[in-house]
Amino acid sequence: MSRNRSLEEIQKDIKTLTRVPSEFIHAKLDELAEEVGELAKPNWIPCSERLAEDAVICYSKEGDMLIGFLEKSETGYIACDDDGTTLHNCVAWTPLPEPYKGE
């Protein structure tokens, strides 16, 4: 499933379903549900592929996570946060979500 479509584009597709035959609606709803599910999944990027320039969520091969900055070391990839906590053996990272804006 491609993650190239925005949530707004998917919502537009849902609105158009009110004007089509019902057999098409069921097939399209299944497709849209899968697409929305894909959007909700974090997009993990291997450290070996590229490093982030900003703070990110880092994931280690032991299954631990830390919000911090990634760097390459002699032994692999390490993440460090503002308090000096480090996470060794990082294998992947994902961008931080958008900040909460309130209601």
Q: Looking at residue 76, what is its pLDDT?
A: 94
Tell me the pTM: 0.60
Asked whether residue 3 carries a pLDDT value surpassing 70, the answer given is no
14-69 pLDDT, tens digit each: 777 767 677 777 777 778 777 777 666 668 999 999 999 999 999 999 999 999 99
Distance CA 48, CA 38 (A): 23
Confidence band (pLDDT; 50, 70, 90) for 72? very high
Residues 83-103: tens digit of each pLDDT: 999 999 999 999 998 888 887
- Using an 8 Å Cβ cutoff, are 44 and 94 in contact? yes
Listed by start position, the domains of the chain span: 7-40, 45-95
User: Listing from the earlier edge strand, what are the strands of the sheet with 56-60?
Assistant: 45-46, 90-95, 56-60, 65-73, 76-80, 86-87
